[in-house]
């Protein structure tokens, strides 16, 4: 009898250890580690071991290949659904059917990473990042130019270009529209395009806004060489090389970040991701920069991109053990709750992923930080969620290879100044053999 009692106590005292792999800067690493420690305190029978990993894709891929992945991990966007389709990840829909956690089921709809025709769920994004416009208010005030509007419908591409021209000056104080303007001696540019026109993060939403895209909605036809896509790329190119109102990518590369270009007064507006908010706020605090935010400009239809890597659970780590799987699920629900990572959200690095945090004042007030988010942030960004569209990473097969081609070929245009239609046609031919549809449909 005593032996049985001791055995029962030992079994009930069993602690399940889980490894959680993630990337991130110093603040993110601190907050995620603290969240793990808090979870461990609340769940004495579960111990989550945080693993902050540099060279993330390389090392996580090696762990997966060895059959010893972490139990949970941030999933690299361009690889997540490929891993899921290979049977590497747990289908979270099976867990949700048994336990429809209100936090998980109430995310922004763009943040669910589905596969197997939409029947299975590989992961849910742990952070959201919209593409937006940043601007230096001091430069606008000095040039007597109105700030960009906060309503997406009002911030058209034509208005953006007009504004950028008014904020571009050569060394004699002349604008591009003034006689004698010298494009070889520009001291302040009106705008900078994040990624220099080559990165999907800013490029893709601008293409979408003009009715263009890289591939069709069903993932089976190339659209990179379509008239709408070529027209959009031409407009971006013209802003840089014909209007001289945006800094060329090669020149922008000289800055540590585009926020530095914004702060030093060499660029008045920057199109970039929400992730730059933290650095912008830090520069504002240290250097006195007054910055504002606005939606992304659009050509025909207002739209932005929403980026956010998902968290997944690895089959080889849980090893069909229902107790380990349940422990992993308990942590999954915990770390997906914005309340548990509120500090990193309030720092400006992340946006929350739960719909209520965009629609209900009590939750919005939890993450808007007046020391970080400028006063127009709520109107320009929080309310922008209705216009957000997921990137191809979240649904397109062979997306890693396709994105690589796009970056390489767009570099020929925005760095090499090659003919746009020619490059797009050649890029389309490279992409076409890779088209295999979508994971979610």
Query: How does pLDDT run across 97-136, given as a tens digit for each residue?
Result: 999 999 999 999 999 999 999 999 999 999 999 999 999 9
Tell me the pairing of strands 16-22 and 46-52.
parallel
Q: How far is CA 239 from the centre of its chain?
A: 24
Yes or no: say if 225 and 427 are a contact pair by the CB < 8 Å rule: yes
pLDDT of residue 6: 39
Q: Where are the beta strands (DSSP E) in 8-145?
A: 16-22, 46-52, 72-74, 112-115, 120-125, 129-136
* Residue-wise pLDDT tens digits, 256-283: 999 999 999 999 999 999 999 999 999 9
Q: What is the pLDDT of residues 335-376, one digit of tens each?
A: 999 999 999 999 999 999 999 999 999 999 999 999 999 999
CA 312, 317, 320, 324 torsion-angle sign: negative
Q: Quick one: 260 exposed, middle or buried, by C-beta within 10 A (0-12, 13-18, 19+)?
A: middle
Q: 3: pLDDT confidence band, cut at 50, 70 and 90?
A: very low
- Cβ of 106: how many Cβ atoms within 10 Å? 14
User: Is the pLDDT confidence value at 11 over 60?
Assistant: no
Please, where are the H alpha helices in 319-414?
A: 322-335, 342-346, 356-359, 361-367, 377-380, 399-414
pLDDT tens digits along 237-255: 999 999 999 999 999 999 9
Task: State the pairing for strand pair 169-170/186-193.
Answer: antiparallel
Instruction: Return the percentage of the chain with pLDDT > 70, whole number.
Output: 97
Kindly tell me if the per-residue pLDDT of 392 is higher than 70. yes
Q: Collect all residues with Cβ–Cβ distance below 8 Å to 392 and sequence separation of at least 6.
A: 200, 204, 214, 215, 219, 399, 402, 403
Instruction: Tell me the C-alpha to C-alpha distance, in Å, between residue 290 and each of 57, 131, 140.
Output: 37, 20, 10
Give the mean pLDDT of 180-203.
97
CA angle 214/216/217 to nearest 5° reads 120
More confident residue, 124 or 5: 124
Kindly report the number of other CB atoms within 10 A of residue 408's CB atom. Answer: 13
User: Does the pLDDT of residue 381 top 90, yes or no?
Assistant: yes
Q: Is 183 left (phi over 0), alpha (psi -120 to 50) or beta?
A: alpha
> What is the structure's pLDDT at 10?
40
Provide the H-helix boundaries in 309-360. Answer: 315-318, 322-335, 342-346, 356-359
How confident is the model at residue 282, as a pLDDT?
A: 93
pLDDT of residue 13: 62
Global pTM?
Answer: 0.94
* Per-residue confidence (pLDDT) for residue 383, from 0 to 100: 96
**pLDDT tens-place string over residues 134-161:** 999 999 999 999 999 999 999 999 999 9
Cβ-based neighbours of 40, under 8 Å, separated by 6 or more: 46, 47, 48
Residue pair 192/270 in contact (Cβ under 8 Å)? The answer is yes
Average pLDDT of 381-401?
97
């Amino acid at each position: 009898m005593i032996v049985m009692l001791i055995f029962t106590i030992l079994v009930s005292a069993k602690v399940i250890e889980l490894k959680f792999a993630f990337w991130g800067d110093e603040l993110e690493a601190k907050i995620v580690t603290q969240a793990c420690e808090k979870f461990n305190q609340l769940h004495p029978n579960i111990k989550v071991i945080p693993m902050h990993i540099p060279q993330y894709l390389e090392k996580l891929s090696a762990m997966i290949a060895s059959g010893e992945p972490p139990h949970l991990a941030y999933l690299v966007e361009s690889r997540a659904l490929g891993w899921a389709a290979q049977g590497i990840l747990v289908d979270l829909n099976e867990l949700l059917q048994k336990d429809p956690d209100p936090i998980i089921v109430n995310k922004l709809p763009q943040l669910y990473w589905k596969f197997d025709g939409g029947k299975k769920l590989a992961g849910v994004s742990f952070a959201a990042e919209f593409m937006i416009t940043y601007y230096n208010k001091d430069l606008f005030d000095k040039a007597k130019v109105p700030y960009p509007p906060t309503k997406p419908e009002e911030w058209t591409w034509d208005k953006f270009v007009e504004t950028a021209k008014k904020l571009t000056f050569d060394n004699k104080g002349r604008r591009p529209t003034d006689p004698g303007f010298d494009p070889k001696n520009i001291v302040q540019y009106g705008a900078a395009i994040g990624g220099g026109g080559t990165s999907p993060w800013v490029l893709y939403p601008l293409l979408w806004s003009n009715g263009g895209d890289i591939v069709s909605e069903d993932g089976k036809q190339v659209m990179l060489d379509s008239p709408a896509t070529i027209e959009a790329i031409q407009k971006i190119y013209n802003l840089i090389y014909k209007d001289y109102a945006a800094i060329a990518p090669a020149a922008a590369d000289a800055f540590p970040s585009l926020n530095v270009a914004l702060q030093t007064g060499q660029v008045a507006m920057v199109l970039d991701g929400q992730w730059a908010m933290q650095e912008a706020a830090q520069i504002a605090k240290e250097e006195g920069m007054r910055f504002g935010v606005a939606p992304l400009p659009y050509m025909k239809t207002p739209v932005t991109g929403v980026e956010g890597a998902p968290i997944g659970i690895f089959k080889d780590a849980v090893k069909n053990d229902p107790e380990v799987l349940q422990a992993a699920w308990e942590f999954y629900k915990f770390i997906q709750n914005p309340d548990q990572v509120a500090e990193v959200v309030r720092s400006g690095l992340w946006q929350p992923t739960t719909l209520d945090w965009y629609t209900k004042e009590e939750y919005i007030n939890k993450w808007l930080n007046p020391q970080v988010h400028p006063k127009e942030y709520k109107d320009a960004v929080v309310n922008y969620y209705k216009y957000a569209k997921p990137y191809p990473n979240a649904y397109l097969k062979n997306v890693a290879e396709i994105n690589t081609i796009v970056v390489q070929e767009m570099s020929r245009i925005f760095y090499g100044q090659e003919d746009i239609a020619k490059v797009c046609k050649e890029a389309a031919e490279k992409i076409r053999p890779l088209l295999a549809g979508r994971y979610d449909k």
